[in-house]
Structure 1
Amino acid sequence: MSTATTTPPTPAQHVPLSVRPPGTGYRRFKNRAATVVLTGAMILAMIPLFLIIFEVTRRGIGVVNLEFFTATEPPPRREGGGYAAGFFGTLYIMALAVAMSIPFGIATAVYIVEFGPNRLTGAIRFFTDVMTGIPSIFVGLFVYGLLVIGWGAMGFGTFVGAVAIAVMMLPIVTRSAEEMLRLVPDEIRNASYGLGARKWQTIVHTVLPAAAPGLTTGSMLAIARGIGETAPLLLTAFGTGIIVTAFQGSPQGAVPMQLYRGAAQPFEAGIDRAWGAALCLFLLVLLFTVIARWIGSRASVGK
């Protein structure tokens, strides 16, 4: 009876780190080539942004001063003046739009996350996604047909303009709030239930505070989107060059509308004021975006 003997495998020979395996140079070349291509693509994508920022700043910085925020718009030929009516109208409309869209959007997201899934939440999510991609002019036409010349023939004014902006902001608030609420761990909810809290108490006192930074970030981004909309306001607020405090029934001004009409003028003074309004809108949108990013980063650090 023969016994087979097996020889133990020889250990792999150690390769010093200074010795490059075959193909290393080619892989490094591909890595560097991909880095160069991606960096170049990023630079090309940022060139239009920097050109826009440079041109808007160059043309608008000489117009923006205290008078620009406190004086009304003069005739197109006359220099000076400002967009006080537009700034007042924008703040008025946005205040109403925020009051309508953010609470309703967060409440909708709470229902989707905390009481779903069911057929109704699926339909809500579907229509929210559809509303996100609808052009803003369609929203203006909808509100125009429904409120301006529709139910009660309310006419142009601040309220119908705020409704149009709120419709634009609502899907952004809802989708962002839904994602933030889903990030809240279920352990927090179960701990609240274990302490005897009811569902509404868990939502109000546990879930919403935990998701508050994310909800604030989404709301800021929605405000930044709504503050620069023009098409819905042309069909609802209509626009004016004087300060209007009426809630409804009188055309209301807004910076985007004054910018649009000022840029369409053939007079240099009116075009200069439009460049100043463009710079102010850009700074407002940038401010809300930076605040949203700052809140999001603070929330991440806190976790």
Structure 2
Amino acid sequence: MSTLTTPSPRAVDLRARRLPGYAPIGIAAAALALAAAAVYGGGIGGPVLVVVLGAVLYLAGLYAASNAVEGRRAARNRTWSALIHSAFVLAVLPLASVVWTLVSKGAERLDGNFFGTSMNNIGARDPNGGAYHAIVGTLEQVGIATLITVPLGILCAIYVVEYGRGRFAFAIRFFVDVMTGIPSIVSGLFVLAFWVLIVSPVFNDGRPGFSGFAAALALSVLMLPTIVRSTEEMLRLVPAPLREGAYALGVPKWKTILRVVLPTALPGIVTGVMLAIARAAGETAPVLLVAGGGAAINLNPFENNQSSLALFVYQQAGDASRYAPARAWTAALTLVALVLILTVAAKLLARRNQLSR
């Protein structure tokens, strides 16, 4: 004869109740509905306030429902998980909004005329005109600044991490930290006072000369601290046993740095370089001060005025022509796409080099 057995208390605990999968969705829908009714019914705000109030109501409702069904511990876990996901969504929303705005408004002038012509002889009533001269200026200025800054920044970081000791290394770190917070217009004023007004007259019959090269120098001042600091941090993350193993095999220190340390830190170094390039490509004040801008195409970065995409956006945004805003949005989209293409290409190149080793 079989006897009925009651489950032990531990077996009951293992079969704890849980909220159904549709419960969070239902709570979110109800929270948004209540928030919309409160905001629009009281006339106290718009969609942003609805989302914020709905998020608060959702967290409160989720905690109450989970606490009633699953217990306090599970309710806290669900609430904090919802907060983390909400923070992710809040971080992504501005980026998605910027991308959508750029694409929707910048697609109007994505044509051959925009990429193949300049603003030379373009009047306020002319719908044509493009940013070819600004694209050329951006590529030349940022390219020259990168050629100047990347070797200097990496060598400076190598000295600070591998060789630097004492007051001189401390002074380098201190001035790099100070340069990190320098406003862009200060770098433009520095190059204006030094290069444009003092050095360039020597090669220009005594007259100050604006040029794309001067803008590249100003951009180099802004890029250098970012590259130095990022490279320094990446070099410090390289494990010491890698260096010690190379030294134990009799490899000289310079070759260890070149063949072991730098390849290991290469992905992080590339990220820092691309951050510096992205900042330099978006600067307006230095280019305006020392390159002067211009409406015509200038392929020579060492002579005469030169424009850039950031400066082109600034000028078109303040232009009275009804065709100027479309040019400004398309130029902004082009600048973002250019930086994105360079970043992806650099990342793929660094990854390929790392895999080949």
Q: Normalising to structure 2: TM-score of the pair? A: 0.73
Report Cα offsets for 1:76-107 as digits up to 9, x if no partner: 32112211111111111111101100000000
TM-fit CA distance, 1:183:
2.1
Match for residue 72 of structure 1?
118
Q: 1:275 to 1:247 in 2, by over 3 A?
A: closer
TM-fit CA distance, 1:194:
2.6
Q: Does 1:202 align with 2:248?
A: no
The answer on whether the counterparts of 2:133 and 2:298 sit within 8 Å (CA) in structure 1 is: yes
Q: 1:31 to 1:150 in 2, by over 3 A?
A: farther
Q: Which runs of 5+ in 1 are unaligned?
A: 1-12
Alignment of 1:200-239 (within 5 A): 200-239=254-293
Q: Does 1:139 align with 2:180?
A: no
Alignment of 1:27-106 (within 5 A): 27-73=73-119, 74-106=122-154
TM-fit CA distance, 1:129:
1.8
For the aligned residue pairs, the C-alpha RMSD in angstroms reads 2.8
TM-fit CA distance, 1:33:
1.8
Match for residue 18 of structure 1?
14
Q: 1:40 to 1:64 in 2, by over 3 A?
A: same
Q: 1:297 to 1:197 in 2, by over 3 A?
A: closer
TM-fit CA distance, 1:139:
1.5
Alignment of 1:218-297 (within 5 A): 218-291=272-345
User: When you count helix as a share of all residues, which structure comes out higher?
Assistant: 2
Q: 1:289 to 1:224 in 2, by over 3 A?
A: same
The answer on whether the counterparts of 1:221 and 1:288 sit within 8 Å (CA) in structure 2 is: no
Residue among 241, 259, 263 paired with 1:187: 241
Report Cα offsets for 1:135-184 as digits up to 9, x if no partner: 21222122222222244545311111000111111111111111221222
* Aligned-partner Cα distance in 2 for 1:292–1:133: 26
The answer on whether the counterparts of 1:94 and 1:165 sit within 8 Å (CA) in structure 2 is: yes
What SS is found at the alignment partner of 1:92?
helix
Report Cα offsets for 1:265-299 as digits up to 9, x if no partner: 11111221111101111212333444566677789
What SS is found at the alignment partner of 1:235?
helix
* Aligned-partner Cα distance in 2 for 1:69–1:222: 25
Match for residue 111 of structure 1?
159
- Which amino acid is 2:98 matched to? I
Runs of 4+ in 1 over 6 A off after TM superposition: 295-303
